Amino acid sequence: MSEEIVSDLMRAHIYRLAQRGERVDGRGLDEPRKLTVERRYVGTAEGSARAKLGNTDVLVGIKMSTGEPYPDTPDTGVLSTSLELVPMASPTFEAGPPRPEAIEIARVVDRGIRESKMVNVEKLCIKPKEKVWILFIDIHVLDYDGNLFDVGSYGATAALASTIVPAKAQGLGEDFPLPVEHWPVSVTFAKIKDLILLDPDLDEERMAEARLTVTTDENGDIRAMQKGLSGSFSFDEVKRCIETSQKVGRQIRPILQGS
């Protein structure tokens, strides 16, 4: 609709539908959009995946190089995640340095991957204190229809899972698959008045008063969380979101694993 605002009329309509457990695209409140993942999309990257969640479309590339470790973690590899709101993805994205929104999404995606120990960064040490593998996760948003937290995370996870460490080019032996040991799945909720909707599309996201992202691993344990926007959640709502994340996580995980 209008590029920036959701009309009052549509707000009322979306809320009315949601009160009956329905959404504009026919989904239930706890139902994510269709997720498709295409691995090894880009040959110049060590790993890559194009992920589409409904009409939100991102391409994630993994680049690896070697370098010095951080001084406080001298024998582990380095992970760095960034996200670009490419102007072609939405009339509201402008070229320029990353906005706080983009930085927040990148950091939350990063947290889910890092804290779940998806990539065993201890195995990415080449020579302690001197040389480690540096892993860049670049999320390139191509088409925007809401919920970059989840699709950014799904793209990154699928890309990491198909990454080959370019050891040969660095004279460090044969190439080997990036050691992936855990599977974080991010699930994001939008709160509209007293109702909570999973995987908000663009209009729902623009109407949301509060937002919650919960990242769980394959055991259902919580690895990362982020509450956003200026509204609030009750403790019960948070608990329900976590439970739903565990359940939906189990449905989504196989798609990311490529099975």
Partner 1 sequence: MEERGAALRQIVIPGEAVGGPGLKPGPGTFKSGDQILAAQLGVRTEHEGRVSIIPLNGRYIPQRGDAVVGEVTDLGPSHWLVDINAPYPAPLHATESPWRVEFGDTGRYLKVGDAILAFVLSVDEIKRIQLTMQDRDARKLNGGMLMEIAPTKVPRLIGKQGSMITMVKELTQTRIYVGQNGRIWIDGPEQGAAAAVRAIHFIEERAQAIGLTEAVRDLLEKETRGTGVSS
Partner 2 sequence: MEDIEHIEKEMKLIDENGVRLDGRKFDQLRPIRIEAGVLKRADGSAYIEWGGNKVLAAVYGPREAHPRHIQDPARALVQCRYNMAPFSVSDRKRPGPDRRSVEISKVISEAFSSVVFKEQFPRTSVDIFIEVLQADAGTRCAGLTAASVALADAGVPMRDLVAACASGKIGGVVCLDLNKEEDNFGDADCPMAVVHGTGEIVLLQMDGHLTFDEFQKAMELSLGAADRLFELQRDALRRRYSVTLEEILRESPPPVAPPPEPEDRDFAPVEEPGPQDEAPPRDEDFGPEGI
DSSP for 123-147, written as a single string: GGEEETTTEEEEEEEEEEEEE-SS-
Binding partner of 142, given partner 1, partner 2, none, CB within 5-8 angstroms per partner class: partner 2
Helix (H, G, I), strand (E, B) or coil at 34: coil
Give the interface segment with partner 2, choosing from 23-31, 82-90, 171-179, 226-234 (CB under 8 A). 82-90
Of the listed pieces 79-87, 186-194, 206-214, 219-227, which binds partner 2 according to CB under 8 A?
79-87
Q: Is 55 in the site for partner 1 (CB under 8 A)?
A: no
Does 91 contact partner 2 by CB under 8 A?
A: yes
Residue 11 lies near partner 1 (rule: CB under 8 A): yes
Closest CA to 166 of 21, 44, 29, 72: 44
- 144 lies in the binding site for partner 2 (CB under 8 A): yes
Residues binding partner 1: number (CB under 8 A): 14
Closest approach of partner 1 to the CB of residue 58, in Å: 24
Residue 169's identity, in one-letter code, is A
Segment lying near partner 2 (by CB under 8 A), choices 9-17, 30-38, 93-101, 176-184: 93-101
Does 86 interact with partner 2 (rule: CB under 8 A)? Answer: yes
CA distance 142 to 162: 21
Cα–Cα distance, 155 to 19 (Å, whole number)? 32
What sign for the dihedral angle of Cα 64, 68, 73, 76? positive
Please give the Cα distance from 113 to 253 (Å, whole number).
14
Q: What residues are paired with 195 via a beta bridge?
A: 192
Supply the minimum distance, in Å, between the C-beta of residue 89 and partner 2: 6
Here the tokens at position 57 are: 């479309």
Does residue 3 belong to the site contacting partner 1 (CB under 8 A)?
yes
Query: How many Å apart are CA 86 and CA 162, to the nearest integer?
Result: 24
Least distance in Å: CB of 14 to partner 2?
19
- By C-beta, is 18 or 109 nearer to partner 1? 18
Contact positions vs partner 2 (CB under 8 A) = 41-45, 48, 55, 57, 59, 61-63, 65, 82, 84, 86-91, 95, 97-98, 136, 138, 140, 142-145
